[in-house]
Amino acid sequence: MTTASGHVVTPKMIGERIKRREDPRLIQGLATYVDDIKLPGMLHLAFKRSDYAHGRIVSIDTSAAAAMPGVELVMTGADMVKILPPMPIGTPFPSPDHHAITPDIVRYVGEPVAVVVATDRYLARDAADAIVVTIDPLPAVIDTEKAMTGQPALVHEAFANNLAVPYVPGGSGIDAATGSIDNSTVDAAFAQAEVIISQRMLNQRLAPTPIEPRGVVAHYEPGKDFLTIWSATQNPHIVRSFIAALMGMGQNQVRAIAPEVGGGFGCKINIYGEDYVAAAITKKLGRPVKWIEDRSEAFMTTIHGRDILAYVDLAAKRDGTVLGLKIKLIADIGAYNMILTAAIPTLTMLMLNGTYNIPAIRAELTEVFTNKMPTDAYRGAGRPEGTYFVERAMDMLARELGMDPAEVKRKNFIQPAQFPFATQMGAVYDSGNYERALDLGLKNAKWNELKAERDRAKKEGRLVGIGLSFYVEVCGLGPSASLPTGGWEHASVTIERDGKITATTGASPHGQGNETTFSQMLADQFGVPMADILILHGDTGVVKQGIGTFGSRSQAVGGTVLALAGGKVKTKMAKFAAALMGPEMEANPEALVFEGGKIFVEGNPASAKTFAEVAGYAYVPVPLPVGMEPGLSDEAFWEPENNTYPFGCHICMVEVDRDTGELTLKKFVAIDDCGTIINPLIVEGQVHGGLAQGIGQAMIEEVVYDEDGQLITGSFMDYAMPRATDFPRFELDKTVTPTPVNPLGAKGVGEAGTLGSTPAIVAATVDALSEFGVKHIDMMLRPEKLWNIIHGGQS
């Protein structure tokens, strides 16, 4: 586009639906994942894993494996005494030892008991299978509530009654300084109640299942005393810190690289035992090693998500005004603490106010060890659970009172003028306009017509129901006070000698599309085409510092710091440009405009210097302007003062087949508000992905262990991942309520879809089955369960 004054203007990119720059290489198979890394002399690892959920290792016979041709090394837990660091990091809870390879007791099916190193992957696998492990079984601790009585056994001797975290209180009347609790507000709220809703609810265990499983390549170079580790990770800088600490090496002796990462959904935040084993073995042998998880291992030994049980009591008046909430949370965290295991359920606590002005809340949290794979962050990570419990209680209240759920929710919303809003749970919501999102949701879904359609269908004998849910979540994680790894992010921006721009970001995207959104931002900031910008990430040898991509933080935190680094470089570049233009401009660089790949005086395109001219001068500054350093490169660290709190309204219609119990999703309308949007196409893609995972949780996904602790859902034959054909077309829309927490006004969106979707679907299904008197159904809503409700409990 050319303006009247004759200069070319780069079209503004922020807010445009730009297709992802990443996709051509991903779609054409041109991307490099960990398994694509092939190094000369590389060896392969395979793990022998426990077949038992709980037991004492009596003996391990590795002789047959060690004798197989091509096997270089076999190690057991006894040979590898190193334990993983006391996790969870930064929390006050004590944690049991967690060995990379267990030396004595196995505590979940799939726990590593030995590792084989061989010249190829298949040999390594065959040799691992030739290891004979004798285990004396102990009773498997599987039932969460029974586990809390110490039955049938203790997962860790030192943790009485299997209580990993015995008791964390939260809510009204807690004195943060002394820890004392005044129950009077909550008791008074319940004393005034005209109606009390009480329900036990389970937010079931899930498997994150990214398409690319975990994987690691480790290469120690003895001559340099330097370790390079390629890992399918969401946070290479955290991998570097942990691996360096575990190996007793300096952080400047370890380089962690996240090549292309095929999805993570939270499960690739962790540093796993296999990562440490790979690092230890390459150092021992001085040869590169590779381990790639197979799908069965991924189901067994990559962290699981959710698995929180809640006892909920909601007190209200008959007009729908909520007076108080009491909630007891029990998190089944599996056998060990991983990096964030203990912290995730505290995020459930944090979100218990939901979008409502609940005047009194009493929350209690207990975390329990069982003989299952540990839980940790899975898309939403604690917040979908909180949303689900509160929304289900609000829906049950509406049903009890015979009111429209939309109106009960509206009645209790936190109002726009109340922001920033300090909740009973200790969060400070930054900004919000919940009623506007509700109104748009009702309009887009044609809520009244939906109700009429449901009623018509019911008259015809069909089981049709509608559901509406609201969510608010904490994301954009920082400041450091709320994130033990550090709540900041780092970025650098360099104008190369030819005027092209290279930027680095410590946020390490693994499917989110930040190479596109971050290029859009810099294109606007510098007035250059996106094609001139390169975004580098995922390599601690290239990106100086970083935290990573999780907690829907990369835009709010990583995007902001990128803009700040860009701002520093732009200011310097303007000074070089002004100096190039002559003495009259030199004193006035602020008057310069960056547009169309040029820098010029406003209204005077003839004054324009190209990026290449200015950059060339900055790197060969003859003469060097007074007080300036040569070059055009700078960096920034930044952390927000608060998290961001995006929100939204999800509405759906479902139908249950009376004969088979099969549930069909017929309509799904979502309104999401993540503040200022950089790329609506990417944001919609993020919402799509989140909805698929939330709806999957509600309808078909569940990790199931049997009573002996065997994983029943250990493959995609048994663990149902949703497919495109399971969904109708999602009808998406947005409201925009910028956050004051960062200068972009952007909140996070990467997890939002997982929050509103589950309660909306369960509410709709309960509505569909209302004629059977059902008030609540635990997820997942499998046909057998629904058929049993329809047929009065007969199987």
Q: Which residues bind ligand MCN (CB under 6 A)?
A: 210, 263-266, 379, 509-514, 517, 549-556, 674-679, 682-683, 686, 689, 746-751
Report which residue type is found at 492: S
Intra-chain end-to-end CA distance of the chain, in Å: 69
Cβ 665 to ligand MCN shortest distance, Å? 21
Cβ 722 to ligand MCN shortest distance, Å? 15
Distance, CA of 416 to CA of 398 (rounded, Å) = 23
DSSP state at residue 678: S
Nearer to ligand MCN, 492 or 549 (CB): 549
Nearer to ligand MCN, 469 or 555 (CB): 555
Cβ 684 to ligand MCN shortest distance, Å? 10
Looking from the CA of 219 toward its CB, the CA atoms found within 13 Å total 16
Cβ 138 to ligand MCN shortest distance, Å? 35
Nearer to ligand MCN, 268 or 572 (CB): 268
Distances from the Cα of 81 to the Cα of 57, 246, 280, angstroms:
15, 11, 11
Nearer to ligand MCN, 378 or 705 (CB): 378
Nearer to ligand MCN, 320 or 380 (CB): 380
Q: What is the largest CA-CA distance in the chain?
A: 91
Distance, CA of 716 to CA of 295 (rounded, Å) = 9
Nearer to ligand MCN, 56 or 723 (CB): 723
Cβ 270 to ligand MCN shortest distance, Å? 13
Are the CB atoms for 231 and 269 separated by under 8 Å? no
Phi-psi region of 354 (alpha: psi -120 to 50; beta: other; left: phi over 0): left
Distance, CA of 84 to CA of 80 (rounded, Å) = 11
Q: Tokens for 154?
A: 């203790």
Nearer to ligand MCN, 123 or 682 (CB): 682
Nearer to ligand MCN, 597 or 685 (CB): 685
Nearer to ligand MCN, 156 or 436 (CB): 436
Cβ 504 to ligand MCN shortest distance, Å? 16
Q: Where are the alpha helices (H) located in 196-312, listed in sequence order?
A: 236-247, 273-285, 295-301
Q: How many residues does the chain have?
A: 795
Residues 6+ apart with CB under 8 A from 626: none
Cβ 10 to ligand MCN shortest distance, Å? 19
Cβ 736 to ligand MCN shortest distance, Å? 9
Cβ 649 to ligand MCN shortest distance, Å? 17
Nearer to ligand MCN, 350 or 450 (CB): 350
Q: Tokens for 64?
A: 């047959």
Nearer to ligand MCN, 517 or 765 (CB): 517
Distance, CA of 62 to CA of 720 (rounded, Å) = 37
Cβ 432 to ligand MCN shortest distance, Å? 15
Distance, CA of 543 to CA of 502 (rounded, Å) = 11
Sign of the torsion angle spanned by Cα atoms 236, 301, 748, 353? negative
Cβ 330 to ligand MCN shortest distance, Å? 24
Report which residue type is found at 708: D
Distances from the Cα of 195 to the Cα of 172, 317, 510, angstroms:
20, 6, 47
The helix/strand/coil state of 65 is helix
Cβ 530 to ligand MCN shortest distance, Å? 14
Nearer to ligand MCN, 169 or 743 (CB): 743
Cβ 559 to ligand MCN shortest distance, Å? 6
Cβ 717 to ligand MCN shortest distance, Å? 23
Distance, CA of 379 to CA of 691 (rounded, Å) = 11
- Please calculate the CA angle 427-433-436 and round it to the nearest 5 degrees: 150
Cβ 304 to ligand MCN shortest distance, Å? 14
Nearer to ligand MCN, 292 or 755 (CB): 755
The helix/strand/coil state of 237 is helix
Distance, CA of 303 to CA of 197 (rounded, Å) = 34
Main-chain dihedrals φ then ψ at residue 99, nearest 5 degrees:
-85, 145
| CA nearest to 593, candidates 1, 89, 8 | 8
Nearer to ligand MCN, 288 or 551 (CB): 551
Cβ 556 to ligand MCN shortest distance, Å? 6
| Residue 256, strand partner residues | 229
Q: What is the DSSP string of 296-328?
A: HHHHHHSPBEEEEEEEEEEEE-TTS-EEEEEEE
Main-chain dihedrals φ then ψ at residue 343, nearest 5 degrees:
-80, -30
Cβ 14 to ligand MCN shortest distance, Å? 9
Main-chain dihedrals φ then ψ at residue 354, nearest 5 degrees:
55, -145
Nearer to ligand MCN, 526 or 550 (CB): 550
CB atoms within 10 A of CB 359: 18
Per-residue HEC secondary structure of 740-792 comes to: CCCCCCECCCCCCHHHHHHHHHHHHHHHHCHHHCCCCCCCCCCHHHHHHHHCC
Cβ 484 to ligand MCN shortest distance, Å? 17
Nearer to ligand MCN, 395 or 751 (CB): 751
| CA nearest to 282, candidates 221, 239, 341, 329 | 221
Nearer to ligand MCN, 28 or 178 (CB): 28
Q: What is the DSSP string of 7-52?
A: -B-PPP-TT--PPPTTHHHHHTT----GGG---TT-EEEEEEE-SS
Nearer to ligand MCN, 579 or 755 (CB): 755
